[in-house]
């Protein structure tokens, strides 16, 4: 078990380092000069060479690339992601201002996705009517294939403009969060439903299910008590993988619904080529991704004790 935990922690650290390094290289290779763009946008007039050089020196962009990389990495390890070139605000401050709105949206979206996807998969695996099972299993591919921006515009047209049930744009209350959350949840819930359904069907064929039936358990009790728990692990992994996708999807969703948050911050930073902020967002999204997946990996032995036993056997084998 200890080897299992150490391995997952090291993998998480490697993913974070790779995300930081790749984003640094890609942003460094951009053809335009973000410092010159920020200096020219300050008063609307072209900045002189001295002002641009002073600004470049202030952000350390006049150093060789390997010096910039080492300084940025060493500061990032200490939690310092630098300052925004366009606003001068600290990157951590900009993220802290935008994060509560995106976290609220992502939390509601993940709840919708997990509850909806799980209910759909459980119903499809439980029913013995072929036509109903075919209908339920046909819904997830449809949900996964629909573009998020199209879903968002469709929901706006129906529930905001026609029925006038929820606000169309802006707002941070629950009523204004429902439509963006459904837009984000639909593809995630569809994939969870597909994976969980396949895992449930495979688990139904295991010998211990027949033993449970032989003891007189009902079909519903067998599914809830014996089938659902071991079948949850693959779907939980998918949910963790899609945690980063929810953050990425917030860029489109928050733009469509004109909501504040990480998505809008990303859009504005990319438009201004604000390298420190863009890289900070990439690192933050990677941190969320690896943290969620690390927690899921550590929860695996609780969901399926066979994982812990396999890890224990490997440790004894190495000894």
| The 3-state secondary structure of the chain, one letter per residue | CHHHHHHHHHHHHHHHHHHHHHHHHHHHCCCCCHHHHHHHHHHCCCCCHHHHHHHHHHCCCCCCHHHHHHHHHHHHHCCCCCECCCCCCEHHHHHHHHHHHHHHHHHHHHHHHHHHHHHHHHHHHHCCCHHHHHHHHHHHHHHHHCCHHHHHHHHHHHHHHHCCCCCCCCCCCHHHHHHHHHHHHHHHHHHHHHHHHHHHHHHHCCHHHHHHHHCCCCHHHHHHHHHHHHHHHHHHHHHHHHHHHHHHHHHHHHHHCCCCCHHHHHHHHHHCCCHHHHHHHHHHHHHHHHHHHHHHHHHHHHHCHHHHHHHHHHHHHHC
Whether 45 shows a pLDDT value over 60: the answer reads no
- Measured between its terminal Cα atoms, the distance across the chain in Å is 14
Q: How many percent of the chain have pLDDT more than 70?
A: 82
Overall pTM surpassing 0.85 (yes/no): no
The predicted structure's pLDDT at residue 316: 43
Strand partners, 83: 90
CA–CA gap between residue 265 and residue 278 (Å, rounded): 9
The predicted structure's pLDDT at residue 309: 52
Whether 44 shows a pLDDT value over 60: the answer reads no
Whether 24 shows a pLDDT value over 80: the answer reads yes
Superfamily of segment(s) 94-271: MetI-like (1.10.3720.10)
The predicted structure's pLDDT at residue 314: 47
CA–CA gap between residue 147 and residue 283 (Å, rounded): 26
Whether 48 shows a pLDDT value over 50: the answer reads yes
| Sequence-ordered list of residues with C-beta below 8 angstroms from that of 164, at least 6 positions apart, any chain | none
Regarding predicted confidence, which is higher, 236 or 283? 283
Whether 262 shows a pLDDT value over 80: the answer reads yes
Q: Where are the domains of the chain?
A: 2-77, 94-271
């Amino acid at each position: 078990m200890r080897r299992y935990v150490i391995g997952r922690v090291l993998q998480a650290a490697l993913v974070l380092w790779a995300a930081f390094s790749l984003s640094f290289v890609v942003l460094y290779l951009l053809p335009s000069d973000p410092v010159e763009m920020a200096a020219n946008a300050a008063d609307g007039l072209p900045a002189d060479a001295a002002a641009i050089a002073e600004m470049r020196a202030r952000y350390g962009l006049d150093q060789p690339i390997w010096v910039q990389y080492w300084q940025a990495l060493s500061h990032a390890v200490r939690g310092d992601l630098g300052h925004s070139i366009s606003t001068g605000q600290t990157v951590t401050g900009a993220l802290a201002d935008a994060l509560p709105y995106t976290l609220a949206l992502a939390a509601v979206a993940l709840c919708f996705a997990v509850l909806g996807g799980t209910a759909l998969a459980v119903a499809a695996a439980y029913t013995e009517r072929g036509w109903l099972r075919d209908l339920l299993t046909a819904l997830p591919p449809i949900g996964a294939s629909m573009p998020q921006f199209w879903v968002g515009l469709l929901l706006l047209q129906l529930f905001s403009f026609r029925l006038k049930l929820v606000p169309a744009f802006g707002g941070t209350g629950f009523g204004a969060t429902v439509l963006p959350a459904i837009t984000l949840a639909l593809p995630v819930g569809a994939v969870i439903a597909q994976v969980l359904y396949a895992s449930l069907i495979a688990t139904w064929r295991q010998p211990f299910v027949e033993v449970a039936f032989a003891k007189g358990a009902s079909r519903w009790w067998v599914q809830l008590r014996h089938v659902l728990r071991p079948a949850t692990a693959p779907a939980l992994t998918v949910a963790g993988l899609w945690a980063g996708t929810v953050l990425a999807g917030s860029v489109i969703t928050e733009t469509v619904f004109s909501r504040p948050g990480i998505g809008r911050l990303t859009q504005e930073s990319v438009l201004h080529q604000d390298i420190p902020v863009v890289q900070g967002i990439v690192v933050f999204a990677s941190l969320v991704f690896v943290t969620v997946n690390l927690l899921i990996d550590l929860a695996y032995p609780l969901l399926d004790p066979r994982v812990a036993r396999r890890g224990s056997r490997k440790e004894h084998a190495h000894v």
